[in-house]
Amino acid sequence: MTLPLAIDESAYSLVSPSSSSIPNPETPLKLGVLASGSGSNFEAVAAAIKNGQLNAQIQVLIYNNPSAKVVERAAKWNVPAVLLNHRDFSNREELDLQIIQCLQHYSVDWVIMAGWMRIVTPVLINAFLGKIINIHPSLLPSFKGVKAVEQAIDAGVKITGCTVHLVSPEVDSGTILCQAAVPILPYDTAETLHDRIQIQEHRILPPAIALAANLNLK
């Protein structure tokens, strides 16, 4: 599928593919969101659903960090929130098994890792094969893993960004769905740069979910 680009001059960013070229799924997607932090991407997905940009429903939020602010956002949007604290499990596979049980209980068919800071294992990946989506704050395949924004600054690159991709067993390596480029400005700190990257994350995550659903139909 060849899709056009969109240039957003006001935000100094370049997004590919353009969201206007991605059809909204015909039947509502049943999403389960996994998040560990502030939940601004959770909010972006919820808002896109509300304004009709994404035909979906968030069935459940799973969070692993008891103090994560995302839980307040879930309450605001009337989304059930389930705490699965990784510290309560002896290994990653045990946590993933519990996540699967929870996602199945809420009839989830697409899993959105929106700031989920845990490595997932083949146990979860195989249970939702091709239906797990992750957002990462760099232009993959550059700067995989933790502290991606700091890695980009330290490397001295002039352009970084964010990527939405399908999850595969190798960390931050699955099929790329959508990317947005963000220039690194001379005065940037990790915080100022991450703030600008997040504006683009919120822009590309909802259409990337729609794109994944469309590709899945083919």
Residue whose tokens read 């519990």: 98
* 86 classed as catalytic: no
What ranges in the chain are assigned the alpha helix state H? 40-50, 70-76, 92-105, 122-127, 148-155, 190-217
User: Taking CB under 6 A as the rule, does residue 160 contact ligand GAR?
Assistant: no
Binding mask 33-52 for ligand GAR (x = CB under 6 A): --x-xxxxx-----------
User: Taking CB under 6 A as the rule, does residue 112 contact ligand GAR?
Assistant: no
User: Taking CB under 6 A as the rule, does residue 188 contact ligand GAR?
Assistant: no
User: Taking CB under 6 A as the rule, does residue 135 contact ligand GAR?
Assistant: yes
User: Taking CB under 6 A as the rule, does residue 86 contact ligand GAR?
Assistant: no
* Catalytic residue from among 86, 136, 194, 202: 136
Closest CA to 164 of 217, 206, 121: 206
Read off φ and ψ for residue 67, nearest 5 degrees.
-100, 15
Among the listed residues 17, 25, 137, 207, the single contact to ligand GAR using CB under 6 A = 137
Cβ closest to ligand GAR, residue 22 vs residue 114? 114
Estimate the crossing angle of helix 190-217 against helix 148-155, to 10 degrees.
120
User: Taking CB under 6 A as the rule, does residue 214 contact ligand GAR?
Assistant: no
Contact 51, 215 (CB under 8 A): no
User: Taking CB under 6 A as the rule, does residue 198 contact ligand GAR?
Assistant: yes
User: Taking CB under 6 A as the rule, does residue 79 contact ligand GAR?
Assistant: no
User: Taking CB under 6 A as the rule, does residue 180 contact ligand GAR?
Assistant: no
Cα Rg of the chain, angstroms? 17
Q: What is the dihedral of CA 201, 203, 206, 209, to 10 degrees?
A: -60
User: Taking CB under 6 A as the rule, does residue 136 contact ligand GAR?
Assistant: yes
Among the listed residues 152, 182, 184, 201, the single contact to ligand GAR using CB under 6 A = 201
Q: Tell me which stretch binds ligand GAR (CB under 6 A): 32-40, 47-55, 57-65, 88-96.
A: 32-40
Instruction: Tell me 21's DSSP state.
Output: G
Tell me, rounded to whole angstroms, the distance of Cα 87 from its chain centroid: 23
User: Taking CB under 6 A as the rule, does residue 161 contact ligand GAR?
Assistant: no
Q: What is the dihedral of CA 142, 146, 152, 153, to 10 degrees?
A: -170
Among the listed residues 14, 62, 114, 140, the single contact to ligand GAR using CB under 6 A = 114
The two tokens of residue 16 are 């590919």
d(CA 218, CA 211): 11
Report the interface residues with ligand GAR, using CB under 6 A.
Answer: 35, 37-41, 114-115, 135-137, 148, 162, 198, 201
Q: Which residues are catalytic?
A: 136
